[in-house]
Structure 1
Amino acid sequence: MNTALRLLTVLGGSALLTVAAGWAVDRLLRRADVRHPETPLWNALRRCRPALQIVLFAALLRGAYRQTQWQPLQDHEAGVGRVLSLTLIGAGAWLVVGLASAVVESGYARYATGTRDPARVRRVRTQVTLIMRVVTAVVGVVAVAAMLLTFPSFRALGTSVLASAGIIGIVAGIAAQSTLGNLFAGFQIAFGDMVRIGDTVVVAGEWGVVEEITLTFLAVRTWDERRITMPVSYFTTRPFENWSRGGVQMTGTVFLHCDHAAPVDLIREKVHEILHRCPEWDGRGWDVAVTETTPSTMVVRAIVTAKDADDLWTVRCAVREQLITWLSEKHPEALPRLVLAPAPDAGPAPFGPGATGRVPKQGGRR
């Protein structure tokens, strides 16, 4: 058998076996997905097919490339073997991460389907996200270490590196003190249930929703679509408001400054009418009361409820807008105004224009 035929046999045979194995595995996973539709595991595992085929192809070539007896390969046998080994290690790491991701995501999906508590679902989602980041980081570090060990020069340096590991660890710990603090803070947030993905929080005076949590930073999406990125250590060392703790239901207030002649009973009826027409109001409760007075106005407070922070904002805006419109159209005297005229029943000013009284003498009778 000549060299060209051997090369074609090795490459073609490896490619054919790889394609056949990938097709067979995908076929089995598809059948398993049809038989067990209650779990997304089998469909998620199908995404690992490219990594599996690369692993198989690299492994077959790594074991059979010497059989080709092709002169260019023989001249660079060590380099070709090292390239195939690096490819095999990288694809193997990709496959391990894909398998772990499929298992974790399917477990989370089944848990989210069977759990009605949104707070628990967000907590598990946060933990799953951080666990997958840790697994990816560990697999990546191990894969890089395995790749470096394929080079003889790094093997020779291994003894000296291990001998100085203690000093390097101390120096690295001091230099990366902030990074390590954020790393441990990330674990504390994930498993301490302090804040979760999807929670509504107020940090640094900004209101938003937690969009992403990593081992080192946390991203908050504000109402105007801005992203605030903060180190996770901020949430373990400083106070912040978490409106989703203890449930996502919320109570809000709407304040109006009205004239003292405003019809409070009619305002109370109008607020009740507005809430019944507002789909975001959850119906748990409402109230209208005068909470404060000033020399020129009184403060009317309306209390409303909603199932979450977004709906509460909508309800408050709807009550405020419709109530002001109704007052301006039906009861304009209820809106604040600047009074410059005297009271209707008051007589003329004793010392002003038109006063007819005499100016009393000072000091009494002489």
Structure 2
Amino acid sequence: MMTEERKASLFGLKNSNRDFSSKDNWGKNQFNSSFPAALACYMGKKVVKPVYLKMDSQYVVYKDYIEVPELFKIPAGVDISDVYFEFEGIYKPHNKYDETLLRSDLVIKSIPTDGLEDTYFSHHEVKLTTLPDSATFNKTEDKFGCEIVVRSVTIVHLAVNLIELYENKKKDLAAILNPVTSIISDWNDEKTILPLLPTMINVLNEILTQNIDKQSPLILNPIWKTNGKSSALADNCLDLFVWSDFAVTRLFINSINTSKKSIDRYSRSLVWLLYLLHQYTIRDKINSSEIYTMPFNSQTDKAFAVNGSKTNPYMACDELLNPRITREEIGNIILNDGQLLLSPERRFDAAIYYASDIFEQEE
């Protein structure tokens, strides 16, 4: 039985809606979002800046770095130890635009206080990914990549981020969308939409370039590197990549084949995004649940996925080749025997669970 002093915990997450002394909060779904938040806090403490993937005015994804307090949009003078990590939480500022009470993988806000309104700092989607994936494990290390599966709700978060930029400029947004919206009367009409895909791409690109200095961190994408396809962790095994909301658009835009005879997941993501922006120009609020009635030829369980062969060109850098956090440092992130509460159901859980030497204490 764990003593009060030895309560399992994760670095930096003392204020959270998850009680990490309980095994219930170490399941595969919880761990895959909790551990990345703790990794970010640990890197912040070490002053190791996550890699920040942004988009430039030529629609090219480039690599920058971002400090963790800036990533979480924590105001100056507020210490990261004094914020609240809410998992699967509602980012309340978005309620102003989306009536569905949209949830995020991670919401950063002030510590809840009786009688006071919470102050919201940021919201993020979280993707804990393995390196290499099944598409790249047989390639040279410099070509290793990770698969990213993007949830449908991520497209909604992206839409609301863009909507915020046009809060007092609805007419401007409507004018940019007009080459598309003036033609489409039925957003489920595949025959009408297909020939418009190049125009839709241009419209989205114009929105992004007009706001290029306003992109915001959206996806936290920690990578954990193994020795090839095995589950054995590499010595340098962890790092954190962050995708801006604008950079995320390249994952589906650059995968669209405009000559296809049907709308696939990539082109559907574009249609969803512009549909939501259009709805904002004609309504006070959007109803993002409407996109789930627009499946076209695919299920709506996810927006799309890109494998490591596609993500490598965006992410290739020293940090992908040699992640900056070592396997031994995992024992500084998972604290007080928290690893004993893991259920080794997924590869990263299993890699930690069976790597007992990480947690051995020196005499």
TM-score with structure 1 setting the length: 0.23
In proportion to residue count, which structure has more helix? 1
TM-score with structure 2 setting the length: 0.23
Ranked by relative contact order (alpha carbons within 8 Å, sequence separation 6 or more), the top structure is: 2
Determine which structure has more spread, i.e. the larger CA radius of gyration.
1
